[in-house]
Amino acid sequence: MIKKEYITIVKEYETAAELPAEFQRIIIDSKNASMRAYSPYSGFNVGASVLLENGEIVSGNNQENAAYPSGLCAERVAIFYANSKYPEIPVKAIAICAFNKNGFLKTPITPCGSCRQVILETELRFNTPIAVILIGQKTIQIVENISQLLPLSFKKSDLIE
């Protein structure tokens, strides 16, 4: 038997002021995007903003549907929009936040498994790590790349092995 251990490194910050200006910009943008989410069923608004290598910011938010599986998460909306509008520009970072009837969440939320897989595919597509910025009222967490949140991932190479 071989035992393997996977370690996730998360950097925590108390305020956005501790971060580079470009990360501060996408944090603000993701909060604004969450305010425009369409979430009449859950009341759980999520916003995501993507910072591209060229400095452009693309945002998205969750879009719910009465046929629940037909909705889409904020992270995928933002990533897919960025990849369709700027197909040759790598993603540098993604910021994610959420609020509900009580306001912005005190602790950060993480992307669901499907969103993690889509972020990973984008990271692999451009061979560039994507910083994941998780925003809460009390703390901001940053992981250097999506593999930190998806260590045993499914990749293109798995299709041809």
Q: What is the pLDDT of residues 4-19, one digit of tens each?
A: 999 999 999 999 999 9
Instruction: Note if 18 is an active site residue.
Output: no
Q: Note the pLDDT of residue 161.
A: 65
Instruction: Output the pTM of the full model.
Output: 0.94
pLDDT at 83 over 80: yes
Q: Select from 98, 136, 96 the least CA-distant residue to 116.
A: 96
Taking only the tens place, the pLDDT of each residue in 131-159 is: 999 999 999 999 999 999 998 888 888 88
At what angle are helices 74-85 and 21-35 packed, to 10 degrees?
120
Superfamily name and number for 11-153: Cytidine Deaminase, domain 2 (3.40.140.10)
Percent of the chain with pLDDT over 70: 99
Residue 70 CB-density burial (10 A; 0-12 exposed, 13-18 middle, 19+ buried): exposed
Residue of 5, 14, 56, 75 marked catalytic: 75
The DSSP symbol for 17 reads: G
User: What gap in Å lies between CA 83 and CA 50, rounded to an integer?
Assistant: 10
Taking only the tens place, the pLDDT of each residue in 4-58 is: 999 999 999 999 999 999 999 999 999 999 999 999 999 999 999 999 999 999 9
Q: What average pLDDT does range 73-80 have in this prediction?
A: 98
Taking only the tens place, the pLDDT of each residue in 97-127 is: 999 999 999 999 999 999 999 999 999 999 9
CA distances from 27 to 21, 22, 40, 136 (A): 10, 9, 24, 10
